[in-house]
């Protein structure tokens, strides 16, 4: 019964995503107060600091970084693009892949101005904020493709998408728990993406704690499997990762803006032994 339930849940989830609105989603989550670079306790600066530290503390290296479920956002690879020669972005929806392509081709009409994000990460790297144009150029150089992905498939990417050895590092932000109908599906998806990673490679995972829904557009209410820290740790362990670090951010009241019922955000650095 459980399996049947999960299959139906995954199909229902896919139907929800047909109504996902990238522009609205960007406005809900990637503008102030959640993305306020003047506020020490804003969520996006916290996420960027976690990613900067994880990519630059010396144990993460290689050629290829793959971002799992990029959505219409780029912030997740702003630090990684300085460490890896090649970055692949992925998403389930063509509307999101198109949004990313628009930015990459610098043709204007993007749903969000990423300049403040680029400037903030330059600051984290000890560079002058005006170096953001170099970082933008670097990003446009290292991102070599934007691929379709389905984390519920035992083979999430097309067979020839990655070198046979796999990716050297995976990053995934707010994806798995938002596309999984239950904890079993979340854990299984972690196992599916693990196969994309070479032995010794790292997984950098950011996700929501206590989230049961979010709005992917006006009136587009998308169910989320609510997770707590213990479940995240157990799922990582069960799906074959070694946990290196788990950090938690608890949302201040004024970050709860009605677009979801998130209570916290987790950051995980883990390794595939
Ligand atoms: N089967 C699939 N495989 C892979 N990707 C898939 C699949 N189905 C949909 N997708 C793809 O995954 C989706 C990724 S966006 C998911 C949004 N996650 C929840 C949202 C995000 C968010 C952001 C920021 C903050 N905060 O506190 O600052 C909180 C929150 C919590 N609410 C979307 O791109 C879809 O296109």
Tens digit of each residue's pLDDT (9 = 90 or more) over 261-273: 999 999 999 999 8
Query: How far, in Å, is the centroid of ligand 1 from the Cα of 224?
Result: 9
Q: What value does the mean pLDDT take over residues 211-220?
A: 97
Report how far apart, in Å, the C-alpha atoms of 48 and of each of 44, 53, 80, 123, 202 are.
Answer: 6, 9, 11, 11, 17
Mean pLDDT (the chain, rounded): 96
Cβ–Cβ under 8 Å, residues 268 and 232: yes
Q: Which atom of ligand 1 is nearest to the CA of 156?
A: 3
- Give pLDDT, residue 91: 98
Q: Would you tell me how many other CB atoms lie within 10 Å of the CB of residue 48?
A: 22
Handedness of CA 250, 177, 231, 246 (dihedral sign): negative
Strands (E), the chain: 64-67, 86-91, 143-148, 167-173, 197-209, 213-215, 221-223, 242-250, 264-271
Q: What value does the mean pLDDT take over residues 40-62?
A: 96
Query: How far, in Å, is the centroid of ligand 1 from the Cα of 130?
Result: 30
- For the chain, the C-alpha Rg in angstroms (whole number) is 17
Q: What value does the mean pLDDT take over residues 25-53?
A: 96
Query: How far, in Å, is the centroid of ligand 1 from the Cα of 61?
Result: 26
- Band (pLDDT 50/70/90 cuts) for residue 178 is very high
261: Cβ below 6 Å to ligand 1? no
- Give pLDDT, residue 3: 59
Bridge partner list, 169: 65, 202
Q: What is the DSSP letter of 243?
A: E
67: Cβ below 6 Å to ligand 1? no
Q: If we measure between CA atoms, which residue out of 156, 177, 176 comes closest to residue 166?
A: 156
């Amino acid at each position: 019964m459980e399996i049947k339930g999960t299959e139906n849940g995954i199909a229902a989830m896919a139907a929800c995503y047909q109504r996902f609105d990238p522009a609205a989603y960007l406005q809900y989550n990637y503008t102030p107060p959640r993305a306020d670079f003047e506020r020490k306790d804003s969520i996006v600066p916290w996420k960027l600091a976690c990613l900067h530290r994880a990519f630059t503390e010396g144990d993460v290296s290689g050629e290829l970084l793959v971002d799992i479920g990029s959505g219409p956002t780029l912030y997740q690879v702003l630090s990684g693009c300085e460490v890896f020669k090649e970055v692949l972005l992925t998403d389930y929806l063509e509307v999101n892949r198109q949004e990313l392509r628009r930015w990459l081709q610098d043709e204007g009409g993007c749903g969000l101005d990423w300049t403040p994000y680029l400037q903030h990460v330059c600051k984290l790297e000890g560079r002058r904020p005006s170096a953001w144009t170099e970082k933008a150029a670097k990003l446009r150089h290292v991102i070599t493709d934007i691929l379709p992905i389905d984390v519920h498939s035992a083979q999430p990417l097309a067979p020839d998408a990655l070198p046979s050895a796999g990716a050297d590092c995976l990053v995934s932000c707010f994806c798995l728990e938002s596309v999984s109908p239950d904890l079993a599906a979340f854990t299984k998806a972690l196992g599916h993406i693990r196969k994309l990673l070479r032995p010794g490679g790292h997984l950098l995972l950011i996700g929501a704690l206590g989230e049961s829904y979010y709005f992917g557009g006006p009136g587009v209410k998308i169910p989320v499997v609510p997770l707590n820290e213990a479940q995240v740790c157990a799922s990582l362990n069960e799906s074959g990762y070694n946990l290196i670090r788990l950090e938690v951010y608890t949302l201040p009241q004024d970050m709860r803006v009605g677009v979801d019922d998130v209570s916290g955000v987790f950051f995980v650095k883990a390794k595939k032994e």
